[in-house]
Amino acid sequence: MPAARIGLHGNNKSDDELRRALEAGVGRIVVDSFTEIETLDQIARGLGTRAPVLVRVTTGVHAGGHEYIATSHEDQKFGLSLASGAAFDALVACQDAEGIDLRGIHTHIGSQILSLEAFQESAERMLGLRAAFRAEIGVDLPEVDLGGGYAIQYTPAGEALSPHDAAAGMAEAVAAAMSRVGGTWPRLSIEPGRAIAGPAGLTLYRVGVVKHVGLEDGGQRQYVAVDGGMSDNMRTITYGAEYTATIASRLSESEPALSRVVGKHCESGDIVVRDVDLPSDIARGDLLAVPATGAYGRVMANNYNAVLRPAVVSVADGASTVHVRRDTLEDLFSWDVAPD
């Protein structure tokens, strides 16, 4: 990926990360604090360059399916507050910094959002900030990044935000705001990461143990344990995320059974799919597919209890290609330092 097309995010970037971004020619560094603005200015001047910067703005719009992934309300770690004036002051600081090339403003209001109204409100507030900066400082910021968070469908009963509807809704909101505040149109960008990567990937597990557990209402739940779990998908235990699953290795005509797909780790919360109907004849060795794991799967994967992470493979036209190989025990042991 050409470095100029990369945006570097993070609320606590290290000096080494900022320096490497500048040396690699990263296209935009999204600054998140006054500390970072000062640090980046010093590093850029030391390298004899100017850092291309967007200021991350906390717009006060609360959106997202879980409180941990709502990122634009006031009381949280990301960005600079629009309401308190911190975002405006950060823009002034960047404009005055010799080592910073202020390109514009950025916001990200949350993840897995179904409401267009939240995006529209955020866009209007961002363009209002841009107009205020032009009116007071005399600079029309050339870029506005409205972030991402567009919801995808994880289960048959789940909903997704249509890309067509999202684009049309955002365009309408921006056009209305620009008519109100005036000025030249900025270069607009969005970050639809999950919407692209999520549906493109699935996780393939092998079934190990199947057991049946009685419920308080007299019914039963079929527990299906697989060779992974919270080590390759943290979203269920972290956010209460919902997924579905299906047998991928064969067809079954058995009656469906209320099932819970669980991992192999020593946590009762190690659940992959909380509730799903699976065939009652599911057995050890079957392959189980969990769709829509292309986003926040591998990137959040871990070696919990020294379990090995799976490979990343693409499939097209009957052929497969390994992009990231699976972990080996030798990989794990290579981190150990032998005592003298």
Reply yes or no on whether the pLDDT at 147 is more than 70.
yes
Reply yes or no on whether the pLDDT at 321 is more than 70.
yes
Annotated active-site residue 266? The verdict is: yes
Residue 255, φ and ψ in degrees, nearest 5:
-65, 145
Q: What would the pLDDT profile of 23-74 be if each residue is shown by its tens digit?
A: 999 999 999 999 999 999 999 999 999 999 999 999 988 765 545 444 556 7
Return d(Cα 160, Cα 174) in angstroms, integer. Answer: 22
Q: Name residues whose C-beta falls within 8 Å of residue 332's C-beta, 6 or more positions apart in sequence.
A: 303, 306, 308
Amino acid at 92: V
Reply yes or no on whether the pLDDT at 10 is more than 90.
yes
Q: What would the pLDDT profile of 254-313 be if each residue is shown by its tens digit?
A: 999 999 999 999 999 999 999 999 999 999 999 999 999 999 999 999 999 999 999 999
247 with 279: CB under 8 angstroms?
Answer: yes
Local confidence band at 110 (pLDDT 50, 70, 90 cut-offs): confident
Reply yes or no on whether the pLDDT at 5 is more than 90.
yes
User: What is the mean predicted confidence (pLDDT) over 154-176?
Assistant: 91
- pTM higher than the cut 0.85: yes
Return d(Cα 165, Cα 150) in angstroms, integer. Answer: 11
Tell me the two tokens of residue 314.
């693409």
User: What is the mean predicted confidence (pLDDT) over 107-135?
Assistant: 92
Local confidence band at 14 (pLDDT 50, 70, 90 cut-offs): very high
Q: Whose CA is closest to 149, among 59, 84, 81?
A: 59
User: In CATH, what number does 3-198 get?
Assistant: 3.20.20.10
Local confidence band at 216 (pLDDT 50, 70, 90 cut-offs): confident
DSSP string, 38-81: HHHHHHHHHTT--EEEEEEEE-----SSSGGGB--SSSSSSSEE
Residue with tokens 């961002």: 126
Comparison of pLDDT for 130 and 68, the residue scoring more: 130
Return d(Cα 68, Cα 262) in angstroms, integer. Answer: 23
Return d(Cα 145, Cα 221) in angstroms, integer. Answer: 46
Classified by CATH at the fold level, domain 201-333 comes out as: Lyase, Ornithine Decarboxylase; Chain A, domain 1 (2.40.37)
Catalytic residue among 266, 315, 316, 337: 266
b/e string for 182-191 if b means 16 or more Cβ within 10 A?
eeeebeeebb
- pLDDT score of 4: 97
Q: Specify which residues 257 forms β-bridges with.
A: 278
For residue 120, how far is the Cα from the chain centroid? 20
Reply yes or no on whether the pLDDT at 315 is more than 70.
yes
Q: How is the chain split into domains, by residue range?
A: 3-198, 201-333
Local confidence band at 75 (pLDDT 50, 70, 90 cut-offs): confident
User: What is the mean predicted confidence (pLDDT) over 9-34?
Assistant: 98
Tell me the two tokens of residue 38.
């000062």
- Mean per-residue pLDDT of the chain: 93
Return d(Cα 200, Cα 89) in angstroms, integer. Answer: 41
3-state secondary structure of 97: coil
Return d(Cα 23, Cα 19) in angstroms, integer. Answer: 6
- pLDDT score of 69: 44
